[in-house]
Amino acid sequence: MPPSTPDRVRIVVPDDFPSVFKGTDAHKRAAALWEVTVFSERGADQEDELIRRIGRAQVAINIRAHAKFAEPVFRACPTLTLISVWGTGVDNIDLHAAGRNGVTVCNTPGTNANAVAEHALALMLAVARQVPAVDRAMRGGQWPRELLTQLTGKTLGVFGLGTIGSRVATMGRALGMNVLAWSARGDANRARALGAQPASKEDILREADVVTLHLMLETETRGFLRRKEFALMKPTAILVNTGRGALVDREALLEVLRERKILGAGLDVFHEEPLKPDDPILALPNVVLSPHIAGQTPEVIRDGLLRAVENVENFLKGAPTDVVVSPSPSRR
């Protein structure tokens, strides 16, 4: 249960690196609740350091996915009652452990939807029109005249019909693409309402000219695309991933890109972030890369952080919002 009065609350932001929270309106709003400690230095990716930073706090505002909230963290921080996540993804939190240890987890779904959808579209176009490669060639004195890929009239396959996936489906239709959609919840009516055609996973992979991933990373979706799925795709297909790197089997992805079994990929997320300088994905010419930056706009940061603090406020009032997991009944 949340504390009975706000004056008992200590709020910690253990992972504001790189810093987006400190000194903002969201920071000031949180400080109006009670003492707020913000850590803007690297280190929250180390479990012992994360535990030290949380200490006796009752609320943690989670900024970065590199801070991993696992069972040992909850056991070492028994006063923690709420994790308010900035963003939609909560795969850095052991949700079962949170519930068992009396911790509520909230997130801020949809606040980055327009930005991420725009970025997914930008990656599609950058791969299809070979923008980075053409730019590099011209700067090197060449005048490349290869044929490019037109998206109008092509088929877009959207996996995941949350706020982001739905927005991408709408943008695809605006480009004149035929949209096939797959919902993890089997929501065919939502697909139809967006003007998309609901389809099976296999049919989308066979028919789509562009496959774009907008799924939550869960046990069921980890490795959503493996070798057998890539084998179904057209050799002219493009993969876009702005969801999570682990949605795709890394070795299978490297194989199909090296061997040109698909046209290319636009990636904003990776199995390891940041990428190491020798990561083989960096050597592939048919990949357009961005550093998990799709949702990084001033509007997204402002609105998302304020909503994360609003979730803290509502929790303290006894009316939690945007709840991903609640404490197990035995811990209430």
- Which member of 100, 173, 292, 302 is catalytic? 292
Residue 226 half-sphere exposure, CB side, CA atoms within 13 Å? 5
Question: Which residues share a beta bridge with 13?
Answer: 38
Question: Which residues share a beta bridge with 179?
Answer: 156
Residue 25 to residue 311: CA distance in whole angstroms: 15
CA 277 to chain centre: 23
- Which member of 220, 251, 255, 273 is catalytic? 273
Helix axes 163-174, 113-128, angle to 10 degrees: 50
**49 assigned to active site:** no
Task: Classify the C-alpha dihedral 295-275-263-145 as positive or negative.
Answer: positive
Helix (H) or strand (E) holding 11: strand 10-13
- Which member of 64, 167, 214, 244 is catalytic? 244
**Where does 132-259 show beta strands of DSSP type E?**
155-159, 178-182, 197-198, 210-213, 238-241
Amino acid found at 77: C
Tokens linked to 80: 């923690």
Asked if residues 176 and 209 have their Cβ atoms less than 8 Å apart, the reply is: no
**292 assigned to active site:** yes
**218 assigned to active site:** no
Asked if residues 316 and 3 have their Cβ atoms less than 8 Å apart, the reply is: yes
Catalytic residues: 244, 273, 292
